Structure 1
C-alpha cells in the first residue's frame, strides 16, 4: 500500500509541475518568458460618437451652428489580449467567443509593439482626416490640407509646423492629404519638391529634398502627417485616446454630418457600426466585425451599419435583436438609416 501511495505521489509531481507551468508567464527568478505566441480577440468598448468621453465631445466642432443630435452613432472596437499563458488561452477558447489568432497577426514579424502602436496611431489620424473630408464633401463644404505632425529628423523637419496649411506641391494645388501623397509618391528619394504653404495668414515656400521611407528605401518620404480642415473656419476635432486603426472612420464621418445638418440621421435610435472611410466617401471592410456586432447588440443597439464586404462575417455573430444594414458609401449609410426610420425598403446583410 505504501509503495502504491509513493508511486501515485511521484506520478503526480509532473502533473503539478505542468499545471504550474501553464499557469505562469515567467519562471520566477529568471527572464524566461513562458507566455504563448497567441492572442485573443473579443468584443471591445463601443463609444457614442455623438456623446462625450472624459467631459469632452468625442467629435468636437467649432466655427459653425450645430444641430441638436439624438440617440447614438456608436463606433465599435475589438479587444486584444496578449502575453497569455497556455491555461489562459485554453480558457478563452473554451469558455468565451474570443477568436484565438497567432501573435503575428497582431504584431507582424520584425515589428515591435511600439512600432505597431505608432502605425495604428498614424492610421487613426489618417482616418480622422478622411472622415472630415468625406463629411465635408457630402455637405458641399470645401477643405484644405493641414499639417498634423512633423517627423523629427525627416526631410520636412524644420520646414513645417503643426497647423501649417499646404497649398500646392510643385505648382499643383492640393486640397486633400491624398492628393499630396499622390504627388510625393510619384517622385523618388533625393528628388526636390517645392511646397507653398500658409502659416499665420502669411504664405511661404520651401524646397525640400525627399528622404527614404524606413520600410522601403525606394519609396520617397516627406515626413509629415496631414489632416484636412474646412476652409470655412469650421474646426473638427476627434477626442479619443488609446484607440488606433482606421475602422472608426465611417462613424466619425456620420457624426460630423449629423452635427452640421438638420434632423437626426439615426432617427433618434441607437445605431452602431464600423468601417473605414475614404476621402471620396467609400466605405471599406475591417477586421473582427463579428466581435463588434456582438458588442453592439450587448450594448443595446437596434441597428448596425456594416461594410458590404464584411456582411457574411457580420452575420456569423447571429444577431437576434439588431438589424444589420449593408453599406458601401457614406451617402448610402445615410440613405439606409433614413429608409429604416421611415419604414421604406432597405438592404440588410441577412
Structure 2
C-alpha cells in the first residue's frame, strides 16, 4: 500500500476512535422533553387519579390535565447533538436539575416530598374554596404551662388579641413577636361555647426572649369525605394548581371544564397563590399533543410561555386559584376572554 493509502487508513482510524470516544462520553447536560399530560378527573388502569370516599364524585365532560417534563440524564455527545436540533427538547446544565453535592437519590427524594406537598396544599385550598375552612386546634396543653387550665385539647383557637387566625402559620405569626411576661387574649371555641382567656406568656425553653403558651396545635380542616391521590412516577411541586382544580370539580356540582380539554401547571401555596415552575415549553407541547386547547399558565412563567407557545394553544395567566376559577367560568359560559399572557 502506498504512503498516501496508509495516511488515509490512519486518518480513518483516528476519526473512528474519536467518534467512538465521543459516543461514550457523557455530556454535563440533561435533556428536557415533553412528558405526559394526565387528566386529574380521569383514571389510570381503572383507578381514579383523585378518589373521593364518603361523597358522590361528580362527572365532567372535559379534562383538567396536569403536565409533566421527561428528564433524560447520562446522554452521550452524539445524542446531545441530535437533541440540540430538536425544537421540542431543551438541553440544560445538569446542575440545574441535580444540584452539585446532591445525589440523584437525594434529588428524587426531594421531588417526591414536593409532590406530596403539592397534593396537601391543593387539598387545603380546594376544601377552603368548597366551604371547609382551616382551623387551629389545640392538641395538648403542657401541665403547669401558662395555658394550663385555660385551654384544653380539642379547643379551636379562632383569634389572638382580636385578630382572627385560621391556620397554623397565622397562629404562629400572631405570637412570633410576643415576649415573656406579655399578656395575650385567646378566643376559642369549645363545642358550642365560645370564650376568651387572657394568658401571660412564659419564656420559651429554646429562646428565652420568645414568649410561650405551652400548647401544641394542629391545623385541621374538617370535611365529611376523604380524598386520596393515585399517580405514581411523577415528582416535584408543579401539579398543585391542577390538583386543586380537580378536587373542586370532583366535589362541586359545576363542571369546571365546560366540556373542554384544559391543561395547566403551577405550584400552589396554602394561601391559593400560584407559583412558577420549570420546563414550561415542554409542558405546553405535551398538553397540545394530548388535545388540550387551553393552558393555565403561572403569571411568573408568562413571558417564557408566550415566546414558546405552540400554535393551537391559548394561554391563560393565573396568579392565584381564584384567577383560574374565574377564567374557567368565562370559558365555559362564553362570557368574555380570560387574561392571557
* TM-score calculated relative to the size of structure 2: 0.75
Structure 2 residue runs without a partner (length 5+): 138-152, 178-204, 207-217
Contact 1:290/1:315 (8 A) holds in 2 = no
Residues 201-350 of structure 1 correspond to what in structure 2 (within 5 A)? 230-350=221-341
Deviating more after overlay: 236-245 vs 316-325? 316-325
Instruction: Quote the residue 1:149 is aligned against.
Output: none
Instruction: Quote the residue 2:18 is aligned against.
Output: 18
Q: Tell me by how many angstroms 1:97 deviates.
A: 2.5
Instruction: Quote the residue 1:92 is aligned against.
Output: 83
Deviating more after overlay: 93-102 vs 119-128? 93-102
Q: Tell me by how many angstroms 1:282 deviates.
A: 1.4
Q: Tell me by how many angstroms 1:4 deviates.
A: 1.1
SS of equivalent residue, structure 1 residue 305 = strand
Instruction: Quote the residue 1:104 is aligned against.
Output: 95
* C-alpha distance in structure 1 between counterparts of 2:232 and 2:261, whole Å: 23
Q: Does 1:68 align with 2:59?
A: yes
Q: Tell me by how many angstroms 1:183 deviates.
A: 9.7
Instruction: Quote the residue 2:27 is aligned against.
Output: 36
Alignment CA distance shift 1:281-1:167 (3 Å): farther
Q: 2:131 aligns with which of 129, 140, 159?
A: 140
1:145-179 per-position Cα deviation (integer Å, ceiling 9, x unaligned): 99xxxxxxxxxxxxxxxxxx99899xx99965656
Q: Tell me by how many angstroms 1:337 deviates.
A: 1.3
Structure 1 residue runs without a partner (length 5+): 25-33, 147-164, 187-208, 211-226
* C-alpha distance in structure 2 between counterparts of 1:137 and 1:348, whole Å: 24
Instruction: Quote the residue 2:3 is aligned against.
Output: 3
Q: Tell me by how many angstroms 1:309 deviates.
A: 1.3
How many residues are aligned here? 286
Q: Tell me by how many angstroms 1:134 deviates.
A: 0.6
Contact 1:307/1:328 (8 A) holds in 2 = yes
Q: Tell me by how many angstroms 1:55 deviates.
A: 2.3
Instruction: Quote the residue 2:37 is aligned against.
Output: 46
Q: Tell me by how many angstroms 1:345 deviates.
A: 2.2
Computed over aligned residues only, the root mean square deviation of the Cα atoms, in angstroms, reads: 3.1
Q: Tell me by how many angstroms 1:323 deviates.
A: 1.2
Alignment CA distance shift 1:167-1:70 (3 Å): farther
Q: Tell me by how many angstroms 1:257 deviates.
A: 0.5
Alignment CA distance shift 1:11-1:183 (3 Å): farther
Alignment CA distance shift 1:240-1:229 (3 Å): farther
* C-alpha distance in structure 1 between counterparts of 2:64 and 2:136, whole Å: 27
* C-alpha distance in structure 2 between counterparts of 1:343 and 1:144, whole Å: 37
* TM-score calculated relative to the size of structure 1: 0.74
Alignment CA distance shift 1:294-1:182 (3 Å): farther
Q: Tell me by how many angstroms 1:296 deviates.
A: 0.7
State which structure, 1 or 2, has the greater radius of gyration over its C-alpha atoms: 2
* C-alpha distance in structure 2 between counterparts of 1:114 and 1:20, whole Å: 30
